[in-house]
Structure 1
Amino acid sequence: MTERPPVTAARGRPVAGFRPGSRSGCILIILHQESSSSGRVGHLLSLMGYAADIRRPVLGDPLPTTLDAHAGVVVFGGPMSANDADEGIHRETRFMDIVLKSGKPYLGICLGAQILVNHLGGRVAGREDGAVEIGWYGLEATPAGREMMDWPSMVYQFHREGFDLPRGAELLATADVYPNQAFRYGANAWAIQFHAELTLAMMHRWAVRGAHRFVLPGAQQGREHLAGRLVHDAALLEWLKQFLDRIFPAVPNQP
């Protein structure tokens, strides 16, 4: 099957305090709904100098057979489960083998993290008591995480399932309800359970379209999502800038 050419990410207004880098290449962006967006992650990667190849395997888009044409991969979240009997999810899970063997940087966010965990033989499941994390919740870096960088104390969550730490992975951040919040596998694979990518418009959409989940145990109401953003989002955005800068390093200047 002929692969689609990369789609260049749209330009946006500069993010305050963020200096565009000298990166080059194309990042494979995997989304899970027609209306999904790469949000601030996509915008920051564009400012860093990367183009974006956006694909939605659950809607039938093909995945590349190699990553020779890509500088890295980001897999975002979605309303489905990594355990679903969906061919698109199965293809993404098998695709993790290509990603890991390539040595290219990988970032899995929420569902993207859980897909990586499934590939590595870990367990993805909800809590027996049905508790969820939907809203703003505390985060604590592990010693390994603190050694790497400063982490936000509060993060935005929207999930009903968590994951066990895969064998060989290094835990970077933890929390009370779902203890495994961020990990690193090998040199270049990273996974986070929480969402730093949401723009304000995205959070409004999630709070409206996901309102039926606010009755779940532990979920916060929509007004708490938006009120928490005013207090906690600046620190979360600053962390995201530093985190992406670490995962997708600058390309050295060529002579």
Structure 2
Amino acid sequence: MKPVMIVQFSASEGPGHLGDYLVNEHIPFQVLRIDRGEALPADIHAYSGLAMMGGPMSVNDDLPWIPPLLALIREAVARRIPVIGHCLGGQMLAKAMGGEVTDSRFTEIGWVRAWPEAVPQAAEWLGGHAALDLFQWHYQTFSIPPGAVRILRSEHCANQAYVLDDLHIGFQCHIEMKAEMVREWCGISPEELKGGSDADPAQPMIQSAAEIMHDLDARIATLNQWAGHVYARWAKSLFNPQGMT
């Protein structure tokens, strides 16, 4: 089968558990490193799916690779090639499909409880959980693009995930996390954590490193388990493309 293209925007924000899932399921993939200046393909024809990871930049930044990536996303959606976005990737998908990305009233950094919406897509894609603990690191938020359905919300950031055309899914959170990634991020940006020099003490959803690390392995194991369900649901369409031309 054709490989999945994984777009990586930052050295520290790689495929994580998504990569593990694809390896375990013998699904080929290629990682395209935007952070290393690698060029996007002219079209999506050579790929069975498009996955996008997180990154420190904004979808609204004036960066030369953003317009062609948005065009590539729109082509994938038009050709019914499955797209999945994590944090920045979820914002990219939302903007490409007519949504807006704006500064969030509340910054979320650390573990955040979220609840699936009472819609069939939430049970289908998220596995019927009553609540989920998400790993977050974001300052902006997306609106739900036209035609998509919100499936997940948190108290301080309503739009946590959405599904489009029952093929594509965008997350505000990071479902791809592994324990070593969490530790690395906290080490790279301690100033953003609670008590750090850049942290706003008025923001209730910014955690300290100690809070983030508490019971980390168990939290990651739970996150990986339900992320695996999401990835399996998304990957179904890699094998059964619908309406491709």
TM-score, normalising length: structure 1: 0.83
Q: 2:128 aligns with which of 150, 170, 179?
A: 150
Query: Relative to structure 1, is the Cα distance of residues 176 and 57 closer, same or farther in structure 2, using a 3 angstrom cutoff?
Result: same
Q: Which runs of 5+ in 1 are unaligned?
A: 1-23
Between the aligned partners of 2:97 and 2:208, the Cα distance in structure 1 is 34
What SS does the corresponding residue of 1:201 show, helix, strand or coil? helix
Cα 1:156–1:228 change in 2 (3 A) is farther
How many residues get paired?
Answer: 227
Q: Distance in 2 between matches of 1:56 and 1:157?
A: 22
**Unaligned stretches of 5+ residues in structure 2:** 194-198, 241-245
Which of 95, 118, 142 pairs up with 1:163?
142
1:140 shift after superposition: 0.3
Indicate the percent of aligned positions where both proteins have the same amino acid: 23
Q: Which has the higher strand share?
A: 2
Separation (CA, whole Å) in 1 of partners of 2:76 and 2:52: 11
Provide, for residues 205-232 of structure 1, a one-character-per-residue CA deviation record: whole Å limited to 9, x for no partner.
Answer: 1011121112232310111111152453
CA distance in 1, matches of 2:27, 2:68: 25
Q: Is the 8 A contact 2:160 2:171 kept in 1?
A: yes
Tell me the equivalent position of 2:220. 233
CA contact under 8 A between 1:183 and 1:192: conserved in structure 2? yes
- Give TM-score, length-normalised by structure 2: 0.86
Q: How does 1:12-23 map to 2 (within 5 A)?
A: none
1:134 aligns with 2:109: yes
* Alpha-carbon distance in structure 1 between the residues aligned to 2:12 and 2:133: 27
Contact residue 59 and residue 88 of structure 1 kept, 8 A: no
1:75-86 correspondence runs (5 A):
75-86=52-63
Give SS of 1:87's match: coil
Q: In structure 2, give the amino acid aligned to 1:181.
A: Q
Q: Which has the higher contact order (CA 8 A, sep 6+)?
A: 2
Alignment of 1:1-255 (within 5 A): 24-57=1-34, 59-128=36-105, 131-144=106-119, 145-148=121-124, 149-151=127-129, 152-214=131-193, 215-216=199-200, 217=203, 218-249=205-236, 251=239
* CA–CA distance in structure 1, aligned partners of residues 12 and 104 of structure 2: 29
